[in-house]
Structure 1
Amino acid sequence: MYEENVEAIERRGTSTFQSEDVDEARSIGSKIYYPHEVRVLGDERKFQMRMTAATIGPVVLGRLDYSTEVEIYTNELKDAYQVNIPMRGELMTGSGRARTTATPHRAAVYRCDQRTVLRGWASPYPTPVLALKIDRHALEEQLADRLGIAVADPIIFDVDFDLDTVVGRQWLSLVEGLSHQLDSPEALALHPIVAAPMAECLMSGLLVAAEHDYRSRLYAPAPALPGLVRMAVDYMEAHAQEPITVTRLARQVGASVRALQVGFQTSLGTTPMRHLKLIRLQRARKELLTSDPSVTGVTEVAQRWGFLHPGRFAGEYKAAFGSSPSEDLRTVPFR
């Protein structure tokens, strides 16, 4: 029965699970979140897991509770980031070597490249937890779009996320509002038209409110691009699949090649053609992440975006994004 409910989650539904069997509880949690181990520390006779979960775009939001103390641990999360927020009580937890005690005022953020451990739900004060699983590619793409750069390495989040700051409280309010819709299979937040912008708000809010290695850059004022550079970038974005030379580009914006090159170097720290290559790499990556590998091949996508040498494309792709084209093509996208 629970397998049908898990499939409902994957179809963008909402479902509630309840189990008194440790193995079944572990199987449910592993299917919806990550493969993990569960060790019962409290009274095994009282063991029960309860979870209500739903998918909102690239985000899985669940309310998780155990009736007795347990310890949960995972290997590297790899394809997702995680945020856990106790609704009351405490949760001793960690990401990699970093440790914290999560509370309703301090969430825990888990990096995609680290192992995790959670210990809580001890009597007499069980700890219901709001658990958010955020697709790695979606979050990193959100960050890249905000900063106008390629994000090749995992985002290095601090495990502690202060929810008592102004932005922390605002983000928590959004999460709690969505959690109230978990009990409705026809929740507005699950509608495809609403889910996409809602997920974007969740991801953007996390990037702004939680501490990580790019956060200061999100708060730094973005320098305005000179007019000719802005026009050139807009043209490249609109015509990325077409043959573009620096001469053609300069003609389009009404500037000399030299002026265009100086403008790009001064404003973006690169050349026009390198920036065009980055745009094409990003377009190729987006296509690979959303394509069916049984229908689409890496070489086909590479050639579509102007990369005629497969080996060179693979090397430049991995240098930009930290994964190979074939790995991203095999990644199952959130739909």
Structure 2
Amino acid sequence: MSSAPRIVVLAGGVGGSKFVVGVREAARRRWPDAAGGTRAEITVVVNTGDDLWLSGLRLQPDVDSMIYALAGVNDTARGWGRTGESERVAAELHAWGAGWPWFTLGDLDLGAHITRTGWLRDGATVTEVVDRLASRWPLGVRLLPMTDAEVDTHVTAAQGRMHFQEWWTRHRAAIPVQGFDWPGIERSVPAAGVLDALVAADVILLAPSNPVVSIGPVLTVPGIADAVRTASGSVVGVSPIIAGAPVRGMADACLAAVGISATADAVGRHYGPRVTGGLLDAWLIGEEDASLAADLGTDGLRAPVRALWMRDLDTSARLAADAFDVALGSE
């Protein structure tokens, strides 16, 4: 493609944010502009199923992870939150018996949560709030929430229903669950700009995010999966599973809960090829899973084998560039 493409990424979680940083860098290198950015238009549709209310504040973990990573202020050692963080306010909340003692809120992070909650209370939409938060730094991409509706992820376990964050953070996904749901999501609509971006996209990328609780909620918002399925641009997914294990986090526990094996081919079949009504034109799998490519091809899903580990900016950018090549037919 001679002109710079319009790229849409569906993403969530820390792995998704690392991939998006790679997408931005790869686009800068391939389609640079005079200001040091890129001529490519990059839109990221971010999962908001992880959102929650806590101590009167609205938290958006995936949105914040995406903003912090793109701004270069994320704590790469802990894997979440801001670098240089302190936790005095969290300690005081816990001393009062407020919040969740196992869910730490950093002081800088709390500044974002307070700001977000104030804007929401003043009547701003989630889309407007995300745009305002993202405008603090020159991120180089447009961030859109999947929906303006509150559709927080819940899990059903033998102990009862609980918010996803309790299962994920407090119990470390160790409690068996029967499934995940997003109350009210069937009545939600995509946030303004999401469907237009998908229709106009030359490239649509499914980040190597958790298929169940990061990409799953995005595709469950009515209209988004259909827009991906019928898009004129190429749709390429990147496997979050390498050699039978999640790249990051506890995606295997989520997959097991919905009856999907934690393997690259099983997740690829979960999304499915567009030629048979699924979502994907191609599914990038790791070099460690090269033996799975032929069977996926037999099922109608092209599975290029690439190096998937994102160890630093260069390897993340290389993975994104590989996805561009596959999507644009220049591999």
TM-score where L is the length of structure 1: 0.26
Greater Cα radius of gyration, structure 1 or 2? 1
- Relative contact order: is structure 1 or structure 2 higher (C-alpha 8 Å, sep ≥ 6)? 2
